[in-house]
Amino acid sequence: MAGTDHRQKKDLGPAPSVVLVNPQLGENIGMAARAMANFGLTDLMLVDPRTDWDKEKALATASGAADTVARARVEPVLADALKPYHYVYATTARPRGMTKDVMTPEQAAVDMHKRIANGEKLGILFGRERYGLTNDEVSLADMIITAPVNPAYASLNIAQAVLLVGYEWFKPIATTLGMETQELPALEGPGLHMPGTQPATKEELYGFLDHLEGELATAGFFKTDDKRPGMVRNMRNLFARAQPSEQEVRSLRGIVSSLTRVHELRKEKLEKEKQGK
């Protein structure tokens, strides 16, 4: 199960409940649970699921989130199931012709965090595999969540919808990118990562550039003295933009030295051959 490390489980605090309305297939329930686990959502409610939904398939497709499926609460009527919640969101891709706040998943996540901080209990409704939520079901919610999707193909399956909303919920509270391993810690944020090294100092970079310029001059790279300053500036700008690490600068100096030695050996060989004639 790649990317799963149960040793890193910890209490992430209060979070919204995922409410699946009239789900039909155990596989979809399991995949929704897996998407929940990806982003720290653990409370799953099934409202009026198909009576013969396959729990074994749900547990199999949950892939590490089987405990979420096992703990899932089952309620027969949506209106009754929502009674404990202070605020409810309904996910849908279609206009509903009703007066109701509409937000993107990102905007809704901001609203969720504010409400959770105030002690509110939240539920997020996800509809059926084939046609989502009915208008009557949407009317029970306080806000509609709609994602910016291709209007020609706006349908998301249950797991995709849960993943999308869950990602936006988790993003503000995530402390790392991805997971840590036994060899390396998790990435702390976007940007250039240099495990085992650090950016080269200007002294290291300038030392390499002086080395390179000297060897190029010896090799006859600079054809005319008047063009040499401009060529050197371009070369220095190129490597400055690259922002090499100290290890990369050492490697570059090693490359230049190796090429130099090859040319010197070749030159010595030619000289010996001339002398032998």
- The pLDDT score that the predictor gives to residue 197 is 72
Q: Over the chain, what HEC string results? A: CCCCCHHHCCCCCCCCEEEEECCCCHHHHHHHHHHHHHCCCCCEEEECCCCCCCHHHHHHHHCCCHHHHHHCEEECCHHHHCCCCCEEEEECCCCCCCCCEEECHHHHHHHHHHHHHCCCCEEEEECECCCECCHHHHHCCCEEECCCCCCCCCCCCHHHHHHHHHHHHHHHHCCCECCCCCCCCCECCCCCCCCCCCECCHHHHHHHHHHHHHHHHHCCCCCCCCCHHHHHHHHHHHHHHHCCEHHHHHHHHHHHHHHHHHHHHHHHHHHHHHHHC
Distance CA 272, CA 235 (A): 35
**Do 76 and 152 reside in the same domain of the chain?**
yes
- The pLDDT score that the predictor gives to residue 130 is 83
Report how many domains make up the chain: 2
**Do 34 and 146 reside in the same domain of the chain?**
yes
% of residues, the chain, pLDDT over 90 = 47
**Do 247 and 166 reside in the same domain of the chain?**
no
**Do 38 and 159 reside in the same domain of the chain?**
yes
Confidence of residue 191 (pLDDT cuts 50, 70, 90): low
Domain membership flag for residue 197: no
- The pLDDT score that the predictor gives to residue 134 is 92
Are the C-beta atoms of 72 and 47 separated by less than 8 Å? no
**Do 168 and 243 reside in the same domain of the chain?**
no
Q: For residue 91, give the nearest of 158, 29, 30 by alpha carbon.
A: 158
Q: Tens digits of per-residue pLDDT, 86-133?
A: 999 999 987 777 888 899 999 999 999 999 999 999 999 999 888 889
CATH of the domain at 251: 1.10.8
**Do 145 and 215 reside in the same domain of the chain?**
no
Distance CA 68, CA 62 (A): 8
CATH of the domain at 138: 3.40.1280.10
**Do 25 and 119 reside in the same domain of the chain?**
yes
Q: Tens digits of per-residue pLDDT, 215-249?
A: 888 888 888 889 899 999 999 999 999 888 899 99
**Do 26 and 159 reside in the same domain of the chain?**
yes
Q: Residue 50's domain spans which residues?
A: 14-173
**Do 154 and 264 reside in the same domain of the chain?**
no
Asked if pLDDT for residue 1 goes beyond 50, the answer is no
**Do 97 and 162 reside in the same domain of the chain?**
yes
Q: Tens digits of per-residue pLDDT, 33-53?
A: 999 998 999 999 999 998 888
**Do 35 and 73 reside in the same domain of the chain?**
yes
**Do 70 and 168 reside in the same domain of the chain?**
yes
Domain membership flag for residue 84: yes
- The pLDDT score that the predictor gives to residue 190 is 62
Confidence of residue 177 (pLDDT cuts 50, 70, 90): low
Domain membership flag for residue 218: yes
Characterize the bridge pairing of strands 122-126 and 87-91: parallel
